Amino acid sequence: MFSSLSEKLDKIFKNLKGKGYLTEQNIKDSMREIRLALLEADVNFKIVKNFVAEVEKRSLGQEVMKSLTPGQQVIKIVHEQLINLMDIEGFEFKVYNNKLTKVMLVGLQGSGKTTACAKLASMYRKKDIKPMMVACDVYRPAAVEQLKVLGRQIDIPVISMDTTKVLEIAATALKQAEREFANLIIFDTAGRLHIDEVMMDEVVQLKKLVKPDYIFFVADSTTGQDAVTVATEFHNKLDFDGLILTKLDGDTRGGAALSIKAVTNKPVVFVGTGEKISDLELFYPDRMASRILGMGDVLTLIEKAEGMFDAEQEEKLAKKMMKNQFTLSDFLQQLQSIKKMGPLDSIMRMIPGLSNKLPADLKIDDNALRHVEAIIQSMTYKEREKPDIINGSRRLRISKGCGRSVTEINRLLRQFEDMKKMMKKFSTGKMPKGFKGMPDFPLQ
Ligand SMILES: Nc1nc2c(ncn2[C@@H]2O[C@H](COP(=O)(O)OP(=O)(O)O)[C@@H](O)[C@H]2O)c(=O)[nH]1
Ligand SMILES: [Mg+2]
C-alpha cells in the first residue's frame, strides 16, 4: 500500500534526521522533495501546494529550528498534516439492533460496489443485527447473479426481482426489510463506465424513494485523480455521506486517498484491501498516515490479532514458552491463528520499522506455512508433544501422510529445536554474544 510514496518520504526523512541542526535551505530542499513525492503519488496538485506550504511554514518556526531533534519535528509535522488531509471529525457510521439503517452504494462500474456490498453486510452482521442486500444493478444479469452468489457465500439474503424497474425493486425490498425486521439494508446500484445522465437520474430517483441514512460513493483507488473527478460529480448530484476506497491492496500510489477528502469534504469511511469478503477495514486517518510514513500500523494489527487470538490461550502459551514446554501442537495452534489474520506480507507491512524495509514487490509464499501445518498435522499427538521420538521410520510415515519430503520434515524439526533453544535463552535472560535474532523460521 503506497509503498513508492513511503519509500521516497523515508529517504527524505533519513536525510533530515541525520542532521544535528537544520538550515532554512535544508528545509526548503526537503519540501521540494516532498512536493515531488506527493505529485508522483498522483495527489491533486493544489492539495500538494497547500500541504507543502503549511509544512514549510510550521517547520521554519522557532520550535523546530531550535529543537534538539529538528528532523524528527519535521516528520511529526508531516504526520499531522497528512492526518489533516484525510480527517473529518464527527462522522460515524452506525447500525442499530432496534431499527433499519438504509445504505446506498453508488459509483462507476468496476469500482467494487457489489463486492463492498457483501463485505459491509458481512462486517456488520452480528447476533442481533440482520443485514439484507438488494440487487439494483438490473441491466447486467451477471451483476445480479454476482450479488446472489456472494449472498449465498456469506448466508445473507439478497432481494432481486425479474424486472428492470429499479424503483419497484427498491420499494419491494424496503417492505420486505420492515416485515422481516432487518437492521441493515444495502442497495447495490448500477454503475456505468463513465458518468452518464441516465445513471445519475436513476440513482437520484432511488435516493428519493429509499431515503437512505447513508450514501457511500465507492471509488477505485487505483484510478488516482480520475476517482477524485468522478467523486466530485457524484457529490454534486447526490451529496453522498462518505466514501469506500477499494483496491488499496493493488498498485495504488495514494493519490485518491490523499486528495478525495479535500476535494469532496467527505470522509473515507471504509477501505477495501483485497478481493476476499473479510478484506474491508474501517478507515482511520491517523493510522493511514502512520502507514504512509512507514511507522507501521500497530493498532490495526492489534485489532486483527485480538479478533483471532484468545487472551487466555496466549497466556498459557507464554507460560509454556518460559518453562520450555512449548510443543509442536502449540506451534501448530499459533500458525493457525496467524494464518487467520491474512496474508503474511500484508501483516508484516503493518509492523513499525519493518514496513519500509520490505521490498515493494515482496510476496511471502503462504504455502510455506501451509506445508508446515500439513507436516505437523500428519504427526500423532505423542510425536507433537515429544518430537524426540520421531525416528527414521516415523519420518517416512509422516512424509507419506502430508506429501512433503523427509528433508522438509527434518528441516522443520531442526528449526523447531532451534526455536526452543532460542526461547530458553530469552526466558533465562542468557543471550549469547553476537546474537543475531531469531532463526529465519518458517519464512524461507
Ligand atoms: N484487489 C481488490 N479487488 C477488488 C476490491 N474490491 C473489488 N475488487 C474487484 O474488483 C472487481 C470489480 O468489483 P465489483 O464489486 O464487481 O464492482 P462493481 O461493478 O462496482 O459492482 C472484482 O473483480 C472484484 O473482485 C479490493 O478491495 N481489492
Ligand atoms: Mg456490481
Percent of the chain exceeding pLDDT 90 equals 41
Say whether 200 sits in a helix, a strand or coil.
helix
Cβ–Cβ contacts within 10 Å for residue 442, how many?
A: 17
> 257 - beta bridge partners?
none
Q: pLDDT digits over 186-238, tens only?
A: 999 988 767 788 888 899 999 999 999 999 999 998 888 888 888 898 999 89
pLDDT in tens, 331-378: 888 777 777 776 777 777 666 556 666 666 666 677 778 888 899 999
Sheet architecture: strand order including 101-106: 158-159, 131-136, 184-189, 101-106, 214-220, 242-246, 268-272, 280-282
How distant, in Å, are the alpha carbons of 141, 377, 386 from that of 382? 55, 12, 6
Rounded to the nearest whole angstrom, what is the distance from the C-alpha of residue 45 to the centroid of ligand 1?
28
State percent of the chain over pLDDT 70. 85
Least confident span in 92-101, 208-217, 302-311, 313-322: 302-311
Distances (CA, A) of 233 to 46, 108, 198, 272: 18, 11, 14, 22
Q: What is the mean pLDDT of residues 416-429?
A: 73
What is the whole-number distance in angstroms between the Cα of residue 326 and the centre of ligand 1? Answer: 42
- What is the distance between the alpha carbons of residues 54 and 5, in angstroms, rounded to a whole number? 19
Q: Which of 48-52, 159-163, 196-200, 352-356 has the highest mean pLDDT?
A: 48-52
Higher pLDDT, 300 or 43: 43
Helix then strand then coil, % of the chain, to nearest 5:
55, 10, 35
What pLDDT sits at residue 249?
A: 84
The average pLDDT across 300-316 equals: 67
Tell me if 109 CB under 6 Å of ligand 1. Answer: yes
Q: Is the CB of 119 under 6 A from ligand 1?
A: no
pLDDT category of residue 292 using cuts at 50, 70 and 90: confident
Instruction: Read off the C-alpha cell for 430.
Output: 542468557
C-alpha cell at 223: 484510478
Instruction: Look over the chain and give the mean of its residue pLDDT values, rounded to a whole number.
Output: 84
- CA 153 vs. chain centroid, Å, equals 21
pLDDT tops 80 at residue 136: yes
In whole angstroms, give the CA distance from residue 105 to residue 354.
36
CA-to-CA distance for 129 and 181, rounded, in angstroms?
Answer: 10
Contacts 24+ apart (CB under 8 A), 147-153: 147/114, 147/117, 147/118, 147/188, 150/114, 150/115, 150/117, 150/118, 150/277, 151/118, 153/118, 153/277
Which atom of ligand 1 sits closest to the CA of residue 279?
Answer: 27
Ligand 1 contact via 255 beta carbon (within 6 Å):
no
So what's the pLDDT on residue 115?
96
Q: What is the pLDDT of residue 321?
A: 73
- The domains located in the chain, with CATH, are 3-86 (1.20.120.140), 101-288 (3.40.50.300), 302-428 (1.10.260.30)
Mean pLDDT value of segment 140-164:
91
DSSP H or E stretch at residue 167: helix 166-179
Say if residue 54's pLDDT is above 90.
yes
Q: What is the mean pLDDT of residues 86-94?
A: 89
The more confident residue out of 308 and 179 is 179
pLDDT of residue 441: 42
Q: How far is the CA of 253 from the centre of ligand 2 (A)?
A: 24
Q: How confident is the model at residue 120 (pLDDT cuts 50, 70, 90)?
A: very high
**Which ligand has its closest atom nearest to the C-alpha of 118?**
1
Query: Given a cut of 60, is residue 436 above it in pLDDT?
Result: no
Residue whose CA lies nearest to ligand 1 atom number 25: 275
- State the distance from the centre of ligand 2 to the C-alpha of 190, rounded, in angstroms: 7
Using most ligand atoms within 8 A of CB, pick from 108, 111, 114, 115 the residue to mutate for ligand 1. 115
Q: Look at ligand 1, atom 6, and give the residue with the nearest C-alpha.
A: 112
Q: Select the more confidently predicted residue: 335 or 40.
A: 40
Residue 244: strand pairing partners: 218, 270
DSSP 123-164: HH-BTTB-EEEEEE--S-HHHHHHHHHHHHHHT--EE--SSS
340 Cα: distance to centroid of ligand 1 (angstroms) = 22
- 111 touches ligand 1 (CB under 6 Å): yes
Query: Does a cis peptide bond (omega within 30 degrees of 0) precede residue 131?
Result: no
For residue 159, report the distance from its CA to the centre of ligand 2, in Å.
14
- Tell me, what's the pLDDT at 359? 67
State whether residue 245 is helix, strand or coil.
Answer: strand
